[in-house]
Chains A and B, each alone.
Chain A
Amino acid sequence: MKIHEADARGIFSRYGLPVPPSRMITKPEEARAAAEELGCPVVVKAQVLVGGRGKAGGVKLASTPEEAVEKAEAILGIDIKGLTVEKVLVAKAVDIEREFYVGMIFDRGTRMPMMMVSPAGGVDIEEVARATPEKILKMPVNPDGGLMPFQVRRMASFLSKDREVAKQIGKALKGLYEAFMGADASLAEINPLVESPDGVVWAIDAKINLDDNALFRHPDIAAMRDDSAEDRGEVDAREADLSFVKLEGKIGCIVNGAGLAMATMDMIEHFGGEPANFLDIGGSSSPEKVLSAMKIILRDENVRSILINIFGGITRCDDVANGLIGAKEKLGLDVPLIVRLTGTNEKEAREILANTEMIGADDMEDAVKKAIEAAG
């Protein structure tokens, strides 16, 4: 789950990171009071859940409260990568002498949390990794012992030779580790962490992605979710406990298992069609889940045929067949349904679907070809 910068700043503050004070506003006029209260200059930042806000004109500096209002007016309502800016953050601006990158992820290779720091901050870190990998220092952290003082010293001195500044950076690194682990994040990043001309370290940006599987133990963070940034189908799918990603094609897909669902999309494209979505109904799928899946797919007006590809194991084919019958009745379906069911309780499923208008398929390839043909 992604959260807004303002919320990420709040979490970082709780863990003692040096975050400049800020106010969230939704109307341009509110920027005046915010700027007066914080003291100018301030930076006005669009709050949308995508990167590249700066390049899109979503981040502006203001040196007076009047200017803050103007900048807020200029940013509120603009479109950044398809998302309308409805909220802006007004934050106390900091003079910048140097910019650093500091971030944490879980590393698949070492199977540990890993901190990454770079003296090349404020730019796209993936680009730094490609062009100048020597400018990034990575340190896996054994969660048993936590972030060790020697690791903190090494990373801090990699970023600054100034002892006083390095000390402040070290404190920020400890806070970043604690925030990452404490919030059950999958990514926590400050880009940039800056040093001001008078040698003070500030976290002037904040990004945290949360581990969806851990939200159950962080109701306060789960409440930060902003559905407005997501496709409505994706929101509904999450509520129905389905994995769904909307795509641009004409062939709707309902599949059990993420790998098979991806392979189904790939095969549709391989034979010249275009998938309308990724949808994994998961294991132990009940008829109700099939109905929810069907509703979500039918909301997409591009859909001309729906392909159901089930390899039953933990999923029972008869459950899916009953779900399809129910969905057809409740939703008054007129889109052709192409059904491939194999595995657990396949025979029962065939009996349930006999004498319906659904198009049966022998195997996955046959099903994909029939779905492409039916979509026209």
Chain B
Amino acid sequence: MSILVDRETKLIVQGITGRDGGFHASQMVAYGTNVVGGVTPGKGGQKTGDGIPVFDSMAEAVAETSANTSVIYVPAAFAADAICEASDAGVKLVVCISEGLPVRDMVKVLPFITERGTRLIGPNSPGIISPGRSKVGIMPGDIHAEGSVGVVSRSGTLTYEIVYHLTRSGFGQSSCIGIGGDPIVGTNLLDTMELFAEDDETDAVVLIGEIGGNDEELAAEMIKNGYPKKVAAFIAGRTAPPGKRMGHAGAIVSGGTGTAAEKAAAFAEVGVEVADTPAQITDIMKRLMA
């Protein structure tokens, strides 16, 4: 089954005529994702090098292609509008790769799209991949393999690092999702844990957290109350000094809370092993799956 994206995914790329949008549209097509169209206002009527039709608006794109998913590569200042446009056109899943969205824009976007029944992943997300089926995002496709481990992460490249180790040790993935490094995201760790809980094809979940907020603590609470899958965790930022924003807008230890130590302790308390290094995740998986 996998979660959120699969062979039924019909994708529109918003910002397809831009540098990143164009490059990743080709990469997704090469991976086998069903990219049915792209949108750039004012550039409708063209076709990309891969033969993907470009539309002026999401409404038009959805009407022509029956797309059910969109991925966004537009500059931050226009991304909030792009998310709302996709939702208003009836798209059920929007993946926002763009980073640097003002938080005020996000808190206005979320009620708007929730009302229309749209799920958002991101912003500032590397996207989501269900290996062998569909890739919606910027992650390198070739490090993934089909399998039964679900990966949920607040990071991008760190996820690649861990997935690389998983694949090399024979642990393929059902789906890998980067929820985005911002403080306010459309789909958070808990939402994703719930999706994996209901997915028959996922046997275990690798949770890649980091400093800031208390999502990891809430995930530990969820596991304590009975979680149907095995879980292994990694927490980035043990050496991060307090009060400093570590790259991601959401990665900050403030007022003594949100530390890696607190999060690791919360997991230890509910019997979830936390890896010291990315490679150690595979050792934990071997024990869990034995």
Q: Which residues of A pack against B, CB within 8 Å?
A: 106, 108-109, 111-113, 126, 142-144, 181, 184, 186, 211-214, 216-217, 243, 245, 247, 255-263, 265-270, 275, 278, 280, 283-284, 311-315, 342-344, 363-365
Contacts and interface: CB of A to CB of B under 8 A. Distances in A.
The secondary structure that dominates the A interface is mixed
22 contacts: A106-B103, A106-B184, A108-B184, A111-B106, A112-B107, A113-B107, A143-B107, A143-B111, A213-B76, A217-B102, A245-B240, A259-B154, A259-B208, A265-B239, A266-B238, A266-B239, A278-B246, A283-B138, A311-B161, A313-B126, A313-B157, A364-B279
Contact of A111 (B107, B126, B238, B239): B107
A269 to B, nearest CB: 5
Contact of A106 (B183, B251, B279): B183
Contacts of B237: 262, 266
B240 A257 contact: no
B167 to A, nearest CB: 13
B215 A108 contact: yes
Nearest to A180: B104
B140 A313 contact: yes
Nearest to B255: A126
Interface residues of B, number: 65
A245 B155 contact: no
B247 A343 contact: no
Most chain A CB within 10 A, of B103, B154, B241, B249, is at: B103
10 tightest A-B CB contacts, nearest first: A259-B155, A258-B247, A257-B157, A259-B158, A214-B102, A262-B236, A126-B255, A243-B247, A260-B157, A280-B247
Contacts of B47: none
A313 B139 contact: yes
Most chain A CB within 10 A, of B138, B161, B277, B279, is at: B161
A278 B103 CA distance: 24
B239 A313 contact: no
A126 B257 CA distance: 10
A261 B246 contact: yes
B108 A143 contact: yes
B158 A263 contact: yes
B278 interface: yes
Given A143-B107, A258-B248, A213 B100 contact: yes
Nearest to A310: B157
Contact of B236 (A112, A113, A266, A344): A266
B226 interface: no
B128 interface: no
A315 B157 CA distance: 10
B246 A262 contact: yes
A262 B210 contact: yes
A217 B104 CA distance: 12
Contacts of B77: 216
Contact of B138 (A144, A214, A313): A313
B211 interface: yes
Interface in B228-246: 234, 236-241, 244-246
B232 to A, nearest CB: 15
Contacts of B215: 108
B197 interface: no
A187 B77 CA distance: 21
A69 to B, nearest CB: 34
B256 interface: yes
B110 interface: yes
Interface in B84-104: 100-104
B156 to A, nearest CB: 5
Given A245-B241, A262-B240, A267 B111 contact: no
A144 B160 CA distance: 38
A142 to B, nearest CB: 6
Most chain A CB within 10 A, of B238, B239, B256, is at: B239
Nearest to A343: B140
A280 B106 CA distance: 24
Contacts of A247: 239, 241
Given A262-B237, A280-B247, A344 B103 contact: no
A340 to B, nearest CB: 10
B276 interface: yes
Contact of B107 (A106, A109, A255, A363): A106
Given A108-B184, A243-B245, 8 more contacts: A106-B184, A109-B218, A217-B102, A247-B241, A258-B248, A259-B154, A260-B158, A260-B160
B277 A267 contact: yes
Contacts of B161: 260, 263, 311, 364
B201 to A, nearest CB: 25
Contacts of A270: 276-277
A311 B160 contact: yes
A144 B108 CA distance: 7
Nearest to B102: A214
A278 B236 CA distance: 12
B98 to A, nearest CB: 11
Given A126-B256, A313-B160, A278 B240 contact: yes
Given A113-B107, A262-B236, A263-B278, A213 B157 contact: no
B239 A275 contact: yes
Contact of B181 (A113, A258, A315): A258
